[in-house]
Amino acid sequence: MCVEGVVAPAGDVYLLVGLAGVGKYTIALALERSLAARGDEVRLVDNHYTCNPIFGLIAQDGITPLPSTVLDRVGEIRETVARTIEAVSPTDWSFIFTHVIDGPADEEWVERLARVAKTRGSRFILVRVLCDLDELLGRVVTPSRRQRMKSVSVDDARRAFGQGVPELAAWDPLTIDVTHRLPIDTAELVLRERHEG
């Protein structure tokens, strides 16, 4: 966006990754509010922003595994979102993404968003969100998760916790344990790190 010949700096691209139920969406909401309070134009693209157009068209209960073809269709939506942000969205907007990391295809999404940031001239800020197992198991079953078509399987959460969240060292992530941290405190920590980085 130009104002009297001055080009506004590019907004940032944030990606919060972690296990299902760890609190990525809640933290992203706090981060969105904090950025907006500073005068930034910001958009939150939660993982389910791209999943739910497909999830809403199939039988799903948050526990039963989804058909394998579903994720291919979700991938098509994600790619459309990425291309739109690269080519159409104002460059001074910031974007906050959330994503569950389950395997190589999910790491490809991290790489794709890093490319989105590079194309826009934005900083790519990757945040790994962790918490302890008991806290995770309590969070994953909240009623609001089922309403938002998110996984509410304690067994899946326990299994995922055993596998852990990849280090993703290639993108120099900020790792935050949120077991005893409020979402707003986490958001403020991310912003402090952003300004110091």
Question: Rounded distance, CA 7 to CA 1, Å?
Answer: 6
Domain residue limits, the chain:
2-196
- Measured between alpha carbons, how far apart are the two ends of the chain, in Å? 24
The pTM score is 0.89
Task: Place domain 2-196 in its CATH homologous superfamily.
Answer: P-loop containing nucleotide triphosphate hydrolases (3.40.50.300)
Q: Token digits for 86? A: 């690269």
- pLDDT value at residue 105: 73
Question: Rounded distance, CA 105 to CA 5, Å?
Answer: 42
Question: Rounded distance, CA 81 to CA 78, Å?
Answer: 5
**In this predicted model, what pLDDT tens digit does every residue of 3-58 receive, in sequence order?**
455 556 889 999 999 999 999 999 999 999 999 999 999 999 998 888 888 888 88
Top pLDDT among 103 and 27 is at 27
Q: Token digits for 78? A: 């994600």
Confirm if 80 and 10 have CB atoms less than 8 A apart: no
Q: What percentage of residues in the chain have a pLDDT greater than 90? A: 64
- pLDDT value at residue 5: 52
Confirm if 24 and 18 have CB atoms less than 8 A apart: yes
**In this predicted model, what pLDDT tens digit does every residue of 164-180 receive, in sequence order?**
999 999 999 999 999 99
Question: Rounded distance, CA 5 to CA 17, Å?
Answer: 37
pLDDT at 2 > cutoff 70: no
**In this predicted model, what pLDDT tens digit does every residue of 119-147 receive, in sequence order?**
999 999 999 999 999 999 999 988 888 77
Query: Distance of CA 100 to CAs 11, 23, 36, 157, Å?
Result: 23, 11, 25, 11
Lowest mean pLDDT among 3-17, 72-86, 91-105, 165-179: 3-17
